[in-house]
């Protein structure tokens, strides 16, 4: 039984672009949430409730968004490396048959 590894380069590039777009959307969401936290901090919601909401945005939500952004970046890099490895393997194998 032969092991075959296949990679559709077009689909892999689409995955890379999807991860990149996801990162951009997450970064925009992070900016928007920081703006909300700043608005709250500047007096839009005063008291314990305002402080708790602002802290939740900054310490929990933004941290989670940052973690997801880092994972998207990692996945983009992983797919990019897989494409490079496959292209290299394709090139090397073609050279053996010429």
- Which two structure tokens, joined as six digits, stand for 33? 């949430």
- Which two structure tokens, joined as six digits, stand for 26? 């997450």
pLDDT of 50 reads 94
**Which sequence spans correspond to the domains of the chain?**
11-91
Over residues 45-79, the pLDDT tens digits come to 999 999 999 999 999 999 999 999 999 999 999 99
Mean pLDDT of the chain: 93
pLDDT of 64 reads 97
Tell which wins on pLDDT, 36 or 93.
36
H helices present in the chain, as ranges: 9-39, 47-55, 62-96
Over residues 2-41, the pLDDT tens digits come to 678 889 999 999 999 999 999 999 999 999 999 999 999 9
């Amino acid at each position: 039984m032969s092991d075959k590894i296949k990679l559709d380069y077009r689909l892999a590039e689409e995955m890379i672009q999807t991860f990149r777009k996801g990162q951009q959307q997450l970064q925009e969401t992070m900016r928007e949430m920081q703006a909300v936290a700043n608005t709250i901090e500047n007096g839009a919601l005063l008291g314990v409730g305002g402080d708790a909401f602002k802290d939740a945005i900054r310490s929990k939500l933004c941290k989670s968004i940052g973690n997801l952004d880092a994972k998207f970046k990692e996945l983009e890099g992983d797919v990019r490396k897989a494409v490079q490895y496959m292209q290299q393997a394709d090139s090397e194998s073609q050279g053996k048959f010429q």
